[in-house]
Structure 1
Amino acid sequence: MIKNKKAKWTVRALLLVGTVVSLYFVPWLLVKAWILPLPDTIQEQVDEAIGHGFEGMIVYVDEAGKPPAFYAGGWKNRENKIPADPNSLFKIASISKLYDAVAVTKLVSDGRLSLDKTIADYLPELVGRIENADKITLRLMIQHRSGIPNFTDAPNFWEAPTETYEEGLALILDKPANFEPGEDYEYCNTNYLLINKIMDDELGYGNFRFIQEEILTPLNLTNTYASLSEVNVADVMSGYHVGYPYDLKTNDYGMHATAEDVGTFLRALNDGSLFEPGEQEIYSSIYEYEHSGWVPGYQSFAKYHEDIDAVTVEFYSTTDPKLYNWNLSEIINNRIVKIIRKKN
């Protein structure tokens, strides 16, 4: 995924440079962001977020009975001084797990996969290489209750992220389980690495094609893509990591989508219109209805707020070594929802 010499400096350099400054200043910024008077409008809150140090931000709001609203602030591309565009593509990172979980649900409903079959059933070559392969079911992997080590936690992973299933898998093979299957919860990207492989094997082709046919096309989502290779890079919002001098836009971290596409998907997920009869009951038994995502340079949040019947999607194009910007993002997200509630 590291495409050039400049990018090969990636995340060890950026994890070190500027950390001392961040440790001293950022906690006070969190306090400031929390106690500031609530702005009257979402755009004012976005502008305030840019003042807190985010290079760029996009917000999409879908309130029932109202046209969707779009907000943006800061830069789409800092170097070229291109203002943030609410229709830009963004690296949605782990929000993609919602799409994977829906795809599994549809395959289970069709009788093509079983939630109670194990890694040993689906990937017998991993017996003896992944501890408890005969006990870890598809259901446990979807729910992050497998106990499998997380391959993205491997030392220095983000300096040179893996590009293939085999490379990712090699980082955790023959390692002890973190806990017995079903006995605990630990967020783990390895679960979904394996789930995607299981879907590919069952389908006989890449599972994103299935996602496109069963989810994206019915919802008319034409701005959601499997990877950077499928898009015009100029359409992607730039991403920045504190202490690292280069734009991370050209690193391929998986799915790309606009905030509107993510919001439309999330609305359909929560109101059930995405599902055929019987599917929503399956989905509700295995996974959640909101998600967030993080990769270097990109933070994303997608949530449905039942009390106000509203979907919010927030994209932030700045990350930092200590994840202070993650905490800052959550403060800003909560303030955006307060503004919506106040208006109502």
Structure 2
Amino acid sequence: MKRLIAAVCAFLLLGAVPARADDGVQTVLDRYLAQAGPGAAVHSGTGTRSTGTAKLREQRAITAADHFRIGSQTKTFTAVVVLQLVDEGRAELDAPVSRYLPGVVTGNYDGDVITVRQLLQHTSGLVRDVRDAKAGPDGTYALAELVRSAMDEPAQNAPGAAQNYSNVGFLVLGLLVERLTGKQAGTAIAERVIAPLGLTETRFPAAGDRALKAPFLNGYLGGRLGQLFFWTEATTAVELSFWSTAGAMESTVDDLQRFYRALLGGRLVSPAALAEMKRTFGSADLYGLALLKMPLSCGVTAWGHNGALTTGHYSLTLATDDGRFAAVVTNTNWQGSGTPSAVDVADRAICSG
């Protein structure tokens, strides 16, 4: 939940970093800033372009080395571990979740009906967000408590009947990872994904650890009034254990493009598992198993995910099967409804590369 703005800071928009080539990427990025935070950047095969500022009261470009909260891009990391467990024969996509977590999905939900696949593709019907979980004495949240607290919430839909986004579903998947690996979910993600790929700038935070590794992108909540910013900083305002396997991780635009390219290149899961991740649901044909399908203007299809968190960060990473990529980040979680969007920025960066 967004905090009320505690302070108002008016700051003139800063000039953009000049584009290195007349490919239109910088122009689209500069226009995107009207929908974004104090600053925005796109990282692609032609380099990193930045506009605005990474930190208020400074004129600092966002770089490929800046750390930020990746929000729901965490879901793709979680999904990869689940698909690895499927590859290992330790889980089945179409098995009921109660087979692995008996007595966990209860109350208003039936764990004997809801499947692992439905959790991954947001068709389980589980409520979108945790509302009334109890924090521990130190202010952090146990994964089991987050899930338990959501079981009395009304369902969004019958299992498999519709696709409705659910952070709670990915918290359940975190419990599944812990049950099948015998390790904390963050440890399993680190050992199975982060370390093998050498993603040294990517981290699943421990409960209570709100700091970002330096250098980092300051995050802001707020909005705009013409050429003025109205922001309050929120970089460390969120207890990340509340989001856990649904949205807690930290990374950089460079590590994120490496992750998605490795996934699409077959380095993380089997070809059969990757095909399942790319199998989209329903007539929208846009979302598979924690992978977003995005047709681009140059006739190719990109895959990836976006993420936002009330630390004041929004990001989107897309990659193609032939290795092209674009990772977009801005230092607010609010996205305007106008154009161009982050998708438009990524599209231009990929298609002009």
TM-score band, normalised by the shorter chain? 0.7 to 0.9
Q: Does 1:247 align with 2:247?
A: no
- Report what 2:126 is aligned to: 148
State the Cα distance separating 1:97 from its structure 2 match.
Answer: 1.0
Equivalent runs, 1:92-111 vs 2, <5 Å = 92-111=70-89
State the Cα distance separating 1:216 from its structure 2 match.
Answer: 2.1
Report if aligned partners of 2:32, 2:345 keep a CA contact under 8 Å in 1. Answer: no
Match among 231, 255, 258 for residue 261 of structure 1: 255
Question: In structure 2, what residue type is equivalent to 1:261?
Answer: D
Please list the CA deviations of residues 270-327 of structure 1 after superposition, one character each: whole Å capped at 9, or x if unmatched. 2223334654344445622411111121111111246x8521110111234xxxx243
Question: In structure 2, what residue type is equivalent to 1:247?
Answer: E
State the Cα distance separating 1:40 from its structure 2 match.
Answer: 4.0
State the Cα distance separating 1:333 from its structure 2 match.
Answer: 3.4
Equivalent runs, 1:1-344 vs 2, <5 Å = 11-14=2-5, 40-50=23-33, 54-62=37-45, 69-79=47-57, 82-126=60-104, 128-152=106-130, 154=131, 163-227=141-205, 229=209, 232-242=212-222, 245-250=231-236, 251-253=238-240, 254-276=248-270, 278-285=272-279, 287=289, 288=291, 289-296=303-310, 297-305=312-320, 310-320=324-334, 325-328=335-338, 331-338=341-348, 340-341=350-351, 343=352
Question: In structure 2, what residue type is equivalent to 1:273?
Answer: R
Question: In structure 2, what residue type is equivalent to 1:174?
Answer: D
Cα distance in structure 1, aligned partners of 2:333 and 2:53: 15
State the Cα distance separating 1:130 from its structure 2 match.
Answer: 4.1
- Partner SS for 2:317: strand
Report if aligned partners of 1:119, 1:136 keep a CA contact under 8 Å in 2. Answer: yes
State the Cα distance separating 1:196 from its structure 2 match.
Answer: 0.3
- Report what 2:295 is aligned to: none
Cα distance in structure 1, aligned partners of 2:102 and 2:263: 33
TM-score, normalised via structure 1 length: 0.75
Question: In structure 1, what residue type is equivalent to 2:329?
Answer: F
Please list the CA deviations of residues 239-288 of structure 1 after superposition, one character each: whole Å capped at 9, or x if unmatched. 11116753111134410001000001111222223334654344445622
Deviation larger for 93-102 or 270-279: 270-279
Aligned pair count reads: 299
State the Cα distance separating 1:234 from its structure 2 match.
Answer: 4.0
Question: In structure 2, what residue type is equivalent to 1:248?
Answer: A
Cα distance in structure 2, aligned partners of 1:220 and 1:166: 30
State the Cα distance separating 1:55 from its structure 2 match.
Answer: 0.6
State the Cα distance separating 1:340 from its structure 2 match.
Answer: 5.0
Cα distance in structure 2, aligned partners of 1:51 and 1:141: 35
Aligned residues: CA RMSD: 3.3
Question: In structure 1, what residue type is equivalent to 2:326?
Answer: T
Cα distance in structure 2, aligned partners of 1:230 and 1:203: 26
Change (3 A) 1:71 1:107: same
Question: In structure 2, what residue type is equivalent to 1:280?
Answer: L
Report if aligned partners of 2:53, 2:60 keep a CA contact under 8 Å in 1. Answer: yes
Gaps of 5+ in 2: 9-21, 133-138, 224-229, 241-247, 280-287, 292-302
Cα distance in structure 2, aligned partners of 1:340 and 1:86: 16
State the Cα distance separating 1:209 from its structure 2 match.
Answer: 2.3
Question: In structure 2, what residue type is equivalent to 1:299?
Answer: Y
Cα distance in structure 2, aligned partners of 1:116 and 1:138: 6
Cα distance in structure 2, aligned partners of 1:281 and 1:51: 37
TM-score, normalised via structure 2 length: 0.73
Report if aligned partners of 1:151, 1:169 keep a CA contact under 8 Å in 2. Answer: no
Gaps of 5+ in 1: 1-9, 19-38, 63-67, 156-160
Cα distance in structure 1, aligned partners of 2:339 and 2:142: 31
Cα distance in structure 1, aligned partners of 2:35 and 2:173: 38
Report if aligned partners of 1:60, 1:314 keep a CA contact under 8 Å in 2. Answer: yes
- Partner SS for 1:193: helix
Cα distance in structure 2, aligned partners of 1:284 and 1:53: 29
